[in-house]
Structure 1
Amino acid sequence: MLLLALDTATPAVTVALHDGSRAIAASHQVDARRHGELLLPAVDRVLAEAGVELGAVTGFVVGVGPGPYTGLRVGLATAAAFAAATGAPVHGLCTLDGIAYAAGQAGLDGPFTVATDARRKEVYWARYADPRTRLTEPAVDRPAEIAERVAGVPAVGAGALLYREAFPDVPDGMPEHQSAAALAALAAEKLAAGEEFPPPLPLYLRRPDAQVPANYKVVTPQ
């Protein structure tokens, strides 16, 4: 098994190659504005470090979000292109699930909340019973609106760090952004157990900013 995992749903441009037991190469850069510029060079570095050609990869793992529109689509489109070129399958995974799994690797058991920065003074979030068990569907909300729903449990992720008034218990040493190595490890575990994956399609929780104006005036000739 050789899984190439990538995720661009958070400010991290993160790539890892996993052999079914461990990550054998990884790249992690945090830059919220350069996903498209950084992703392919990161893939090249990871494959070169491992001494593996893209055609030897047996499966691709991609974070499906939730995340900002542009960054999220960079990773999904790249994974789809790799799959089309190699014939290997693409496995989608919720980005929040990857962060939860990484929190487990860092020593957090559960229950807890994962919250990432959704911008516009909002967070993408979900509750977890443990690093492998999500209790709620991913959602986007203002931190103050969910403070009571996440009270009493620790929280991890950039959103939790940004809004400490709603997430007062953020343990030290927990992941802030996505880790492709953790995402790949979670996928390897799910594959070994014969579990199903969500489709590799973007998980959007907001309507697009660009919309056709109301009362749009038609100017084409009659």
Structure 2
Amino acid sequence: MLVIALDTSTPAVTAGLVALDEGEPQVLAERVTINPRAHGELLMPQLVDVMGEAGRGFAEVDAIVAGTGPGPFTGLRVGLATAAALGQACDVPVHPVCSLDAIAAAAGVTGPLLVATDARRKETYWAVYDGDSRLDGPHVAKPADVPTEGYPVAAGELAEAVGLPAVQPQHPTPAGLVAAAALDADPAPLVPLYLRRPDADEPGKRKSVLTR
């Protein structure tokens, strides 16, 4: 089974092709670029490079996995819109995956684990796990307000910011995305996890410039 894995929920623009048989996910090729302002420019070119390096065509793909966040409004839209368009073009299912779950799946920790990624505004998205099974979250909070008692390590780019020893990975990986996906079930709706309103506000009522 060949699976395209995409994630744009963090500053990392991630694209990969993963082979999934009876064993662990095998990454055939991947591209990861840290650039929080270039998701739209980088994602598809990276995926084309991935397919070329792996020597596979889009017609050979069996499924697509996309990280749904939590993450910034603009970045998430790029990844999910790309995944939805590819799924329609290739006529394959698109499976959503919480991006924090993908980090937990790739961390390889047996036991308590906290995952923390950058939510901007001096805040973090966080969730807690037993191995790769999510127990609570995702939530958004200031790093100092994240409950860390009982969790010896953390993964994600803000692991140290919440006061815990860090383990890899810092961002979702193609292997982690595929490992966390429920590929043997019908795909759930491709819904982004924003957790809060976008920064932009709707304009208010215009003030009259007429004088009486």
TM-score normalised over the length of structure 2: 0.89
Does the CA-based 8 Å contact 2:124-2:142 persist in structure 1? Answer: yes
AA at the equivalent of 2:2: L
Q: Which stretches in structure 2 are left out of the alignment for 5+ residues? A: none
Partner SS, residue 159 of structure 1: coil
User: Which residue number in structure 2 is paired with residue 27 of structure 1?
Assistant: 31
Q: How does 1:175-186 map to 2 (within 5 A)?
A: 175-186=169-180
AA matched with 2:176: A
Counterpart contact for 2:106–2:169, Cα < 8 Å: yes
* Cα pair distance change 1:130/1:198, threshold 3 Å: farther
Alignment-mate amino acid for residue 128 of structure 1: Y
Deviation at 1:9, TM superposition (A): 0.4
Q: Distance in 2 between matches of 1:87 and 1:58?
A: 9
Q: How many pairs does the alignment contain?
A: 203
Deviation, 1:118, is: 0.5
- The corresponding residue for 1:211 is 201
Partner of 1:2: 2
Tell me, yes or no, if the aligned pair for 1:103 and 1:156 is still in contact at 8 Å. Answer: yes
Q: Residues 110-138 of structure 1, C-alpha deviation per residue, up to 9 Å, x if partnerless?
A: 2110000101010000010112x100121
Letter in 2 for 1:33: R
Q: 1:115 to 1:88 in 2, by over 3 A?
A: same
Moved over 6 A (4+): none
TM-aligned CA deviation for residue 29 of structure 1: 1.4
Q: Does 1:119 align with 2:120?
A: yes
Q: Percent identity over the alignment?
A: 48
The equivalent residue for 1:199 is: 189
Within 1, Cα distance between the matches of 2:139 and 2:165? 19
Partner of 1:64: 68
- Residue 139 of structure 2 corresponds to residue 135 of structure 1: no
CA distance in 1, matches of 2:202, 2:15: 36
Residue type matched to 2:27 in 1?
A
Aligned amino acid, residue 65 of structure 1: G
CA deviation digits over 1:80-110, x for unaligned, max 9?
1101111111000000000001111xxx212
Query: Offset of 1:197 from its aligned partner?
Result: 5.0
Q: Which amino acid aligns with 2:165?
A: V
Q: CA 1:170–1:197 in structure 2 vs 1: closer, same or farther (change >3 Å)? A: farther
Match of 2:157 in 1: 158
1:8 and 1:160 map into 2 onto residues whose CA distance is 19
5 Å-filtered alignment, 1:102-117, equals: 102-104=106-108, 108-117=109-118
Answering whether residue 72 of structure 2 is matched by residue 74 of structure 1, we say no
Unaligned residue ranges in structure 1 (runs of 5+): none
CA contact (8 A) 1:15 1:46 kept: yes
CA distance in 1 between partners of 2:166 and 2:171 (Å): 14
Q: Give yes or no for contact 1:47–1:53 (8 Å, CA) kept in 2.
A: yes
> Equivalents in 2 of 1:114, 1:68: separation in Å?
17
In the aligned structure 2, how far is the partner of 1:109 from the partner of 1:14?
25
- Hey, what's the Cα distance between the residues in 2 that align with 1:116 and 1:171? 12
Q: 1:159 deviation in Å?
A: 1.6
SS in 1 for 2:159: helix
1:11 matched to 2:8? The reply is: no
How many angstroms does 1:212 deviate by? Answer: 2.6
When the two chains are superposed, the root-mean-square deviation of aligned CA atoms in Å is 1.7
1:196 and 1:169, CA in 2 relative to 1: closer, same or farther beyond 3 A?
farther
Query: What is the CA–CA distance in structure 2 between the aligned matches of 1:171 and 1:23, rounded to whole Å?
Result: 24
Matched to 1:159, the amino acid is: L
Name the residue aligned to 2:43. 39
Deviates more, 1:3-12 or 1:204-213: 204-213
- Distance in 1 of aligned mates of 2:96 and 2:107: 19
